[in-house]
Amino acid sequence: MKRVALVAALLALVLAGAAAGAPRHRSAPTKLTVWVGWSARELAAFKKLAAEYQKANPDVSLSVVGSINDDKIVAAIRAGTAPDVVSSFNSYNVGIYCGTGGWIDLSSLMKQSGISTSMFPPTTNYYTQYGGKKCALPLLADTYGLYYNKTLFKKAGIAGPPKTIAELTADAKKLTVRNSDGSLKQVGIDPFIGFYENVPERWILPWGGTYTDSSGKAHLATDPAWTKWLTWQKQMIDWYGYKNLVKFQAGLGDEFSASNAFEVGKVAMNLDGEWRVAFIKAEHPTLDYGTAPMPAANPSLYGSGYINGTIIGIPKNGKHTQQAWDFVKWVTTNTHALAEFSNAIKNVPSTTASTHSKELVPDTHFATFLKIFANPKSGTSPIEASGASYTNLVQNFATKWQAGQVKDLHGGLVTLDKQLDAQVSQAKGGGVP
């Protein structure tokens, strides 16, 4: 018996040696196409990251295509010409991608690779799943907070950023400067929905508002936070004067340009994303400003904020699912990759480990957003079957409210709740509930 085993072992060794000595046939690298939404400077940073992956994995060749939006992604999936990997800026649409199976469920691939959802903060886990399917992973995150102009604060005799709504209101009024005809020259904070990054979902978080009850039905009318926020917002708009504010905004520069109203000192405080740090550094490096969490209605909520971000996944019917997954896994979970990309485009790295990476370039302005991102009370938009149109409907209501077109706030919110539920039902294919 021993002799048989010995012969078998020798034979195995000989065969292994022969295999090792045989000339190796090197197959051409698998070509993976990756679609991303970034463009210009940010696209170049992503391509650099992709090149690093390719260098470490010569069996794949990555082709990165930028400036992609959700329309193009959906059209490509329909036509059967989708790339191997897709990413979208619009985490709201996860409900559509997961719900329809347009992006594949990554759960089994994650399990097979030992990737646990506990690597990611709860909010990013929320906006990368829908209906029990994990069809996306976060690829850096956007976190929102308050930017304030220190020079204008000093001029107005304000020591530091506001932490409560009362302080925010008082500071905003102090920082507002009017022309002789009553029109606005400088605004303390502009709470107008539709202005730059102002959407209800970003403003409601520090007020503690939620969208749905435990049964999944919209409850904006019964959640007191919505009424409180909308009432405060309208009072502020009326204090500025609706028409004054609209005219003031029409004269402001484009948000994503060097004429941005905060960057040029036209608005003293502004709700904005962490990427503004990089924009200011590039466009107005001498601007004396600070960053802080948004003032909160409840002290326990101070420090939290709104989070969303870029999502990445694999479209259905892909030809190289395993290779695509290997890349997705690396780019979304590798601490070095996330820190490097975060440094390049100044977005928040999206795993818990990467937010503590020593590779992150220290920046006091940016550090605020890392803290907001890590805050357990930070949140995001509701992920519903109807995608972005859910929050658009809420925004539509808020814009009518701020213009004075809604006379009965509670009645309006009751109707809005019904419309939101009907919209979700319609999106699920259930027709009118």
Partner 1 sequence: MLLLMAPWLVGFSVFFGYPLVMSAYLSLNHYDLLSPPRWVGLANYRYLFSVDPQTWTAVKNTLWLIVVLVPLQVLSAFGLAIMLARARQGVGIFRTIFYLPALAPPVAATLGFVFILNPATGPVNTILGHLGISGPLWFQDPHWSKPSLVLLGIWGVGNTMIIFLAAVLDVPRTLYESAQLDGAGPLQRLRYVTLPSISPVILFAVVLGVIQGLQYFTQAYVAAGVAAGQASQAADVTAVSLGYPLDSTLFYPVLLYQHGFTDFQMGYASAMAMFLLVVSFAVTLVIVLNSRRWVHEGAR
State how far Cα 354 lies from the chain centre.
16
Q: DSSP letter string over 238-286? A: HHH-HHHHHHHHHTSPPTTSTT-TTTTTSEEEEEEETTHHHHHHHH-TT
Helix (H/G/I), strand (E/B), else coil: 259: coil
Q: Where on the phi/psi map is residue 218: left (φ > 0), alpha (ψ -120 to 50), or beta?
A: beta
Which residues between 123 and 162 bind partner 1 (CB under 8 A)? Answer: none
Q: Tokens 């190796």 label which residue? A: 24
- By the rule CB under 8 A, 186 interacts with partner 1: no
Tokens of 220: 């904006």
61, 31 contact by CB (below 8 A) = yes
Asked if 185 interacts with partner 1 (CB under 8 A), we say no
Size of the residue set binding partner 1 (CB under 8 A): 54
Out of 343, 355, 375, 389, point to the residue binding partner 1 (CB under 8 A). 389
The answer to whether 341 touches 52, Cβ cutoff 8 Å, is: no
Is residue 89 close enough to count as binding partner 1 by CB under 8 A? yes
Contact (CB, 8 A) for 225 and 206: no
By three-state DSSP, how is residue 313 classified? Answer: strand
Q: Which of residues 246-285 bind partner 1 (CB under 8 A)?
A: 246-252, 254-257
Q: Single out the residue of 419, 286, 415, 322 nearest to residue 106, CA to CA.
A: 322
- Segment 393 to 422, residues that bind partner 1, using CB under 8 A: 393, 395-396, 399-400, 403, 405, 415, 419, 422
Contact, 85 vs 32, CB < 8 A?
Answer: yes
- 177 near partner 1 (CB under 8 A): no
Q: Supply the minimum distance, in Å, between the C-beta of residue 83 and partner 1.
A: 15
Q: Output 293 or 382, the one with its CB closest to partner 1.
A: 382
| Nearer to partner 1 among residue 354 and residue 386 (C-beta) | 386
Options 62, 140, 141, 199; binder of partner 1; rule CB under 8 A: 199
CA dihedral sign, ordered 231, 236, 240, 246: negative
Q: Is residue 78 within the footprint of partner 1 (CB under 8 A)?
A: yes
The residue among 170 and 246 lying less far from partner 1, judged by its C-beta, is 246
In the complex, least distance from residue 258 CB atom to partner 1, rounded to whole angstroms: 12
Tokens encoding 326: 């290997």
Structural contact between residues 163 and 296, judged by C-beta atoms closer than 8 angstroms? yes
Are the beta carbons of 237 and 245 closer than 8 angstroms? yes
Binders of partner 1 in range 288-307 (CB under 8 A): none
Segment contacting partner 1 (CB under 8 A): 22-30, 47-55, 90-98, 213-221?
A: 90-98
176/389 with CB nearer partner 1: 389
**Closer residue to partner 1, CB minimum distance, 205 or 311:** 311
Provide the mask over 51-70, with x wherever binding to partner 1 is found by CB under 8 A and - wherever it is not. Answer: ------------------xx
* Residues near partner 1, by CB under 8 A: 37, 69-71, 74, 77-78, 89-90, 92-93, 96-97, 99-102, 194-196, 199, 243, 246-252, 254-257, 386-389, 392-393, 395-396, 399-400, 403, 405, 415, 419, 422, 426-427, 429-432
